[in-house]
Amino acid sequence: MKLSYACRVIKLGGSVVTVKDKPMSVRHDIIKYLSSELASFLNEHPNVRLLLIHGGGSFGHFSIKKCLSSVGAIDVKCFSHTSYMMMLLNTYLVNELIEAGLTPVSIPPHTIFWKEGGKLKYELGLLKEYLAKGFTPVLYGDVIISDNVFEVLSGDTIAWVLAKELDVNEIVFVTDVDGLFDKDPKVHSDAKFIETLRAEELKDLKFSTSDYDVTGSMMLKLTEGLKYGVKDVRVRIVNGLVKGNVYKVLVGSSTVGTVVEY
């Protein structure tokens, strides 16, 4: 469904909104400046809507790791605790967004996404309604019902699904790295920065997976777009730990981050 106004999907990575290896640690300072950058952009572009999604960081991922190591699976207790942890993290972000002057509304993904017969299902009617009324919906990586079990739904997957279903042609992945490199920059000091790339060229790059993150790596994040068959989508990957970067990307500056064309 094509929206009658321009809309951008922004995924704030868990490593940007939290310190990933320190349980329940919110990066308040970063959330604060990101919120004011989003607010500045929206004030200057009142006809554009933003759809925000954040990752699990040291709230969701930590909770899931704990269940997997003690129970070996996501059971009802783990689901309940993880969804609570994600809502908690969500409140910190929503609070800052309100303080910055935005009109966010939280949409817990476990209430609109589920899996049936292994297939991801969703009900996006209300989300579209909130967008149309001028809200900034805020979603996040969450736990969902998957037939007879429970599983994690990554915020990255939500970003792709929303971009495809709402015909959005720009997704901004706000991460803790400057963009794409030909090798994992956290492992190789000689990794070369890539300014632009076509999605078909992704397979030529090599990334390691982080063992802390239960939903995968940068590569998974980007190749998922191919799986969902998105077309004419521009993905921007930007370092949110640098003040000003997200605003620059939103106003179309090509001086920061990597662009991947799908």
Which residues in this chain contact ligand IP8 in the complex, by CB under 6 A? Answer: 14, 55-56, 60-61, 64, 82, 86, 141-143, 152, 154-156, 214-215
Q: Which is nearer to ligand IP8, 141 or 179 (CB)?
A: 141
The distance of closest approach from Cβ of residue 57 to ligand IP8 in the complex, given in angstroms and rounded to an integer, is: 6
Whichever of 3 and 220 has its CB closer to ligand IP8, that residue is: 220
Pick from 103, 112, 13: nearest CA to 54: 13
Tokens matching residue 41: 């952009």
Q: Closest separation between CB of residue 13 and ligand IP8, Å?
A: 7
**Shortest separation between residue 157's beta carbon and ligand IP8, angstroms:** 8
Identify whether the C-beta of residue 54 lies closer than 8 Å to the C-beta of residue 12: yes
Separation between Cα atoms, residue 221 and residue 177, nearest integer Å: 14
Please, is 60 exposed, middle or buried when counting C-beta atoms within 10 Å of its C-beta (0-12, 13-18, 19+)? buried
Q: Which residue has the tokens 């704030």?
A: 12
Residue number, 143 or 161, with CB nearest to ligand IP8 = 143
Determine the longest span between alpha carbons in the chain, in angstroms: 49
Question: In terms of CB distance, is 86 or 202 closer to ligand IP8?
Answer: 86
Least distance to ligand IP8, CB of residue 165, Å: 18
Residues 6+ apart with CB under 8 A from 181: 188, 191, 192, 193, 194, 205
**Nearer to ligand IP8 (CB atom), residue 82 or residue 90:** 82
Specify the residue, 40 or 210, whose C-beta has the smaller distance to ligand IP8.
Answer: 210
Looking at the Cβ atoms of 26 and 143, the one nearer to ligand IP8 is 143
Q: In the bound complex, what is the minimum distance in angstroms from residue 35's beta carbon to ligand IP8?
A: 19
Number of H helices and E strands in the chain, helices first, is: 8, 14
Q: Coil, helix or strand for 156?
A: helix
| Residue 71 to residue 173: CA distance in whole angstroms | 32
Strand runs (DSSP E) across the chain, as ranges? 7-12, 49-54, 104-106, 113-116, 119-122, 136-140, 142-146, 149-153, 170-175, 180-181, 193-194, 196-198, 234-239, 258-261
Closest distance of CB 122 from ligand IP8, Å: 16
User: Closest residue to ligand IP8, Cβ-based?
Assistant: 141
CA distance 109 to 24: 20
Q: In angstroms, what is the minimal distance from the CB of 66 to ligand IP8?
A: 11
